[in-house]
Amino acid sequence: MNNKLNSVALRLSSLTVFRGILDRREMAAFLHFLSCEGALRERLSLYGEFVYSLAPYGNSFSEFLKKAVCEDENLYIVSKAKKKDIPASVEKNLKEELSLFTLLSELTPEELFEGGVYEAYIPLFENEKTDFTAFYKERTDNVDTLGYGIFASKAMFKVEDGEIIPVDSADEILLSSFVGYEKERETVEENTVALLEGRDAVNVLLCGDAGTGKSSTVKALVNHYFSYGLRLIEIRKDQLFSLSHIMGKIADNPLKFIIFIDDLSFNKNDDCFSMLKAALEGSASAKAKNALIYATSNRRHIVKESFSDRGGDDIHRNDTMQELLSLSDRFGLTVYFQKPNKILYLDIVHALAQRKGIKMDEKELDIKAEAFALNKGSRSPRVAEQFIKNLR
């Protein structure tokens, strides 16, 4: 190995600010290749593993480096986000390491195998020179909207075993894809913008009939305002016990978060009820100033109530039921998504047909759309979309 590559290997091994990047498969493969002093076949095998690892980044080493740097949660970026003083030693280490990443973005396969290898083909990879000092400065200067760590690249997250993890195949729906319910979406959007701008905003309950676009509205808003610093963390009802833990993890993050609970409902003795109630009422342990709860439900009062719930000998049963049924009132904003009437349903069908380039006599289209809705048992935007898909 030549002196330049030996220097690169040594500098990589001594990373401090971005040391977490060494744990990534791609960088580990690269460093393993650089450190190999074995036979040519072994070096080629390790080099092949490195190039293979770049596939998710368009076979580009520089694209991997940019993603790795953005997603690294280190002392510098966390201190910057919290507006804390940064030690001079950390500043100096950062400068050195960013210059190293710039150097890495200039490497070519020919440099990695100086003098060539005549016995075998050297696989190629993409690499584009990147000024990582300028690149990272832009990220840190805009950390309030661009984020860092796992929140740098993804918009939507879920919770598994108490940990927040990215959703790899998140819904990419856009606000522009909707037809109808403009007033309802506008109400939710105004509240979301208030959150992003640091103004008074409230928890939101989106309730109404199935298939009317409640969940899609929330996800479309997150996609639209991703570049403004909005992220979504979806939790299941049975994960409400970890709500305070989740809030604690994001409380100091400069981004804004929607804690999303889809298809929410409770039984009267549900243990999760008290945790959600505490969060909605502003309990310090279940609240973060940069997060709101958005929930969807097909029930106005969220609670599943049977006639047997109204009986019994509990002298306080009326107070208990009132508390359960008023849970929805603890949301600062309730937005109703009602089942569309025939006119709105057909308007949605017409708009979707036009977008998909479907040419059909309008009367014939209406008759088929109504028959499809009758077969499904109801009219809704979801049914309209399914109908159009069936026509194609």
Residues in a beta bridge with 158: 165, 234
3-state secondary structure the chain: CCHHHHHHHHHHHCCCCCHHHHHCHHHHHHHHHHHCCCCHHHHHHHHHHHHHHCHHHCCEHHHHHHHHHHHCCCHHHHHHHCCCCCCHHHHHHHHHHHHHHHHHCCCCHHHHCCCCCCCCCCCCCECCCCCHHHHHHHHHHCHHHHCCHHHCCCCEEEEECCEEEECCCCCCCCHHHCCCCHHHHHHHHHHHHHHHCCCCCCCEEEEECCCCCHHHHHHHHHHHCHHHCEEEEECCHHHHHHHHHHHHHHCCCCCEEEEEECCCCECCCCCCHHHHHHHHCCCHHHCCCCEEEEEEECCCCCECCCHHHHCCCCCCHHHHHHHHHCHHHHCCEEEEECCCCHHHHHHHHHHHHHHCCCCCCHHHHHHHHHHHHHHHCCCCHHHHHHHHHHHC
Q: Is the CB of residue 340 less than 8 Å from the CB of residue 348?
A: yes
The reported pLDDT for the residue numbered 253 is 94
pLDDT tens, residue by residue, 31-77: 999 998 888 889 999 999 999 999 999 999 999 999 999 999 999 99
Please give the Cα distance from 34 to 71 (Å, whole number).
24
The reported pLDDT for the residue numbered 240 is 85
User: Taking the domains of the chain in order of start, what are their residue ranges?
Assistant: 3-142, 157-337, 342-391
The reported pLDDT for the residue numbered 310 is 47
In which residue are the tokens 């929330």 written?
218
Instruction: State how far Cα 162 lies from the chain centre.
Output: 16
The reported pLDDT for the residue numbered 308 is 47
The reported pLDDT for the residue numbered 315 is 45
Query: Which mean pLDDT values do the consecutive 10-residue runs of the chain (392 residues) have?
Result: 86 97 96 89 93 97 97 96 95 98 95 74 94 97 95 95 90 87 94 96 90 92 97 91 89 95 72 69 68 84 50 48 59 88 89 87 88 88 88 74
**Domain boundaries 157-337, CATH class:** alpha beta
Identify the CA nearest to 265 among candidates 294, 300, 291, 225. Answer: 300
The reported pLDDT for the residue numbered 1 is 62
